[in-house]
Structure 1
Amino acid sequence: MAKYFDVHPDNPQPRVIAKTADEIRAGGLIVYPTDSCFALGCGLGNKEGLDRIRKIRKLSENHHFALVCKDFAQLGQFVHVDNAVFRKIKATTPGSYTFILPALRDVPRRMLHPKKKTVGVRIPDNKVVQALLAELGEPLVTSTLLLPDQEAPMTQGWEIKEELDAVVDVVLDSGDCGETPTTVIDFVDGTPRILRRGSGDLAPFE
């Protein structure tokens, strides 16, 4: 049975954030709110967590997982970003974007696209996630909470608790969450290519 933590969206309680981080460190799989919609998340070295996400969402081996990072200093530890790409990404973050970039060696191989050796990264504009990342001290491995039989992500924490009670460990709920996933931009060759049109403004990349 999943634990249910109610957290304030603007002033997340440190005790709740610490409990959630402890669950992640212990190998837990969580559901948490972002600046786009709810997402599934686990620790960077949690192979079982990745497998659980794949099973819940029925994902293929070619699915791009993403690392949710606190800031650019953290992001730069896991992906290669040249100066031109850095400037373009910097202008739109934090925000509702996932950027596909070449992965560095610190990214676990099982997270990478098997052929391209790339990974998604994002810096969310959400106080709950930022507090959780600060407490955790490392990125979260993440994937949008979009179930295979649903056309749009669920927006209510209690609804998610009922649906996924047996397959996740924590539902972190800060209130109604959006149902539009991030905009996904492929920057692997230095030129932005829109892979998914989502909640982020497309104008800077078109």
Structure 2
Amino acid sequence: MSERFRVHPVDPQARLIERAADLLRRGALGLCPTDAGYSLVWTMEARDAEDRVLRMRALDTKHPFTLLCGALSEVGRLGRLDDRAFRLLRSLTPGPCTFILPAASELPRRLKQSKRRAIGIRLPDHPVAQALIAAVREPLLSTTLLLPDDEELASHEAEAVAERTERLVDFMLDAGDCEPGPTSVIDCTGDEPELVRQGFRPLAL
């Protein structure tokens, strides 16, 4: 049975965050509020959770999931940052932006097995997401709640998310409604950063 932890959106209760983090460490699949809607989250080693996501969203095994990081120092271990990309990340994070970076040569074992050449990374600006990443002590894999039969699902509305998807996950960190998303997507794999998707909070490079 899925657990629903009602947490404060600005000052989340440490005991509830730790309960959610413990579930993730044991391979669970969760729902977490971010600065661009609720997201599915799981750890890099949770293969079963990832398989559930693939089935839930009808994705193929090569789908590129996004890593939620807590600090720029974590980003540097996962993706290659030149000076331009580093300055861009520093100026736009934390915030509702996804950055596509060349994958680092020394990725964690689980990611290395996927033979990724590029990697998507976010540093979310939401206290609950930040607290969860800090409690797990590693970046989390994530994806949006775009389900095959629910293109109109309001992924930022807590009650709508719970009603449609709570039974599909092991827990939900319910912090009420959050900002709607989507994130802006910035591709930093070429000679110049390229804005490939404008998010709900418009930006210019």
Structure-1-length-normalised TM-score:
0.90
Task: Please tell me the residue identity of whatever aligns with 2:58.
Answer: K
CA contact 2:157–2:178 (8 Å) conserved in 1: yes
**Which piece of structure 1 moves more, 187-196 or 25-34?**
187-196
Task: Please tell me the residue identity of whatever aligns with 2:203.
Answer: L
What is the RMSD of the two structures over their aligned residues, measured on CA atoms?
1.9
CA 1:34–1:46 in 2, change beyond 3 Å: closer, same or farther?
Answer: same
Distance 2:203 2:113 in 1: 26
Quote the offset at 1:53 in angstroms.
Answer: 1.3
- Give 1:79's aligned residue: 79
**Which piece of structure 1 moves more, 149-158 or 6-15?**
149-158
Distance 2:143 2:191 in 1: 24
- Give 1:24's aligned residue: 24
- Give 1:160's aligned residue: 161
| Paired residues for 1:27-106 under 5 Å | 27-104=27-104, 105-106=106-107
Q: Which runs of 5+ in 1 are unaligned?
A: none
For the residue of structure 1 that corresponds to 2:78, the secondary structure is coil
- Give 1:192's aligned residue: 193
- Give 1:144's aligned residue: 144
Q: Percent identity?
A: 38
Quote the offset at 1:202 in angstroms.
Answer: 2.5
Distance 1:111 1:29 in 2: 21
CA 1:96–1:64 in 2, change beyond 3 Å: closer, same or farther?
Answer: same
2:193 paired with 1:202: no
Q: Deviations over 1:20-48 (max 9, x none)?
A: 00010010000110001110000111112
Task: Please tell me the residue identity of whatever aligns with 2:180.
Answer: E
**How many residues are paired up?**
202
Quote the offset at 1:110 in angstroms.
Answer: 7.2
For the residue of structure 2 that corresponds to 1:74, the secondary structure is helix
Q: Deviations over 1:78-101 (max 9, x none)?
A: 111111211112111110000011
For the residue of structure 1 that corresponds to 2:134, the secondary structure is helix
Q: Which runs of 5+ in 2 are unaligned?
A: none
Structure-2-length-normalised TM-score:
0.90
**Which piece of structure 1 moves more, 49-58 or 151-160?**
151-160
Task: Please tell me the residue identity of whatever aligns with 2:147.
Answer: L
